[in-house]
Structures are given as structure tokens and as C-alpha cells.
């Protein structure tokens, strides 16, 4: 079965758009993480551990948050 060249072109354009969108999401996530100070990161981790302790969860993988 032969696929027209135009279909390959659109498939390539769609693939590039997907790669670009993924890059935008990753870059945004990294920017948000970089804005936290070390003290803020520690505080967030302590809060998460406290939440797990309140729930009685011993394994972090069991936690949904």
C-alpha cells in the first residue's frame, strides 16, 4: 500500500508539534522548580511527610498526592 507524500508531510509536522509541546511542558515544570528556595523545598517535603504520617501510610508509593 502506497502512502501519498502529502500524508507523510502532515505526519512529520504533527510529530514535530508533539515534540515541541512536550518541550514546553518540561521547560515550564523546570522553571517552577527553580523558583523554590532550598528552605521552601524542605518545608514542602516536611509537609508531605506529615501528611503521610497523618494518613498512616509508610510507603510513599502508596500516596496519591
pLDDT tens digits, residue range 35-65? 888 899 899 999 999 998 888 766 656 555 5
C-alpha cell at 19: 515534540
For the stretch 5-16, pLDDT in tens is 898 999 999 999
Model confidence pTM above 0.85: no
C-alpha cell at 8: 507523510
> Which three-class secondary structure string do you get for the chain?
CCCCHHHHHHHHHHHHHHHHHHHHHHHHHHHHHHCCCHHHHHHHHHHHHHHHHHHCCCCHHHCCC
What pLDDT is stored for residue 37 in this prediction? Answer: 86
Amino acid at each position: 500500500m502506497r502512502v501519498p507524500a502529502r500524508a507523510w508531510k502532515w505526519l512529520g509536522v504533527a510529530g514535530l508539534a508533539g515534540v515541541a509541546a512536550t518541550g514546553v511542558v518540561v521547560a515550564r515544570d523546570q522553571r517552577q522548580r527553580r523558583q523554590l528556595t532550598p528552605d521552601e523545598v524542605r518545608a514542602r517535603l516536611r509537609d508531605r511527610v506529615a501528611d503521610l504520617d497523618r494518613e498512616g501510610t509508610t510507603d510513599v508509593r502508596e500516596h496519591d498526592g
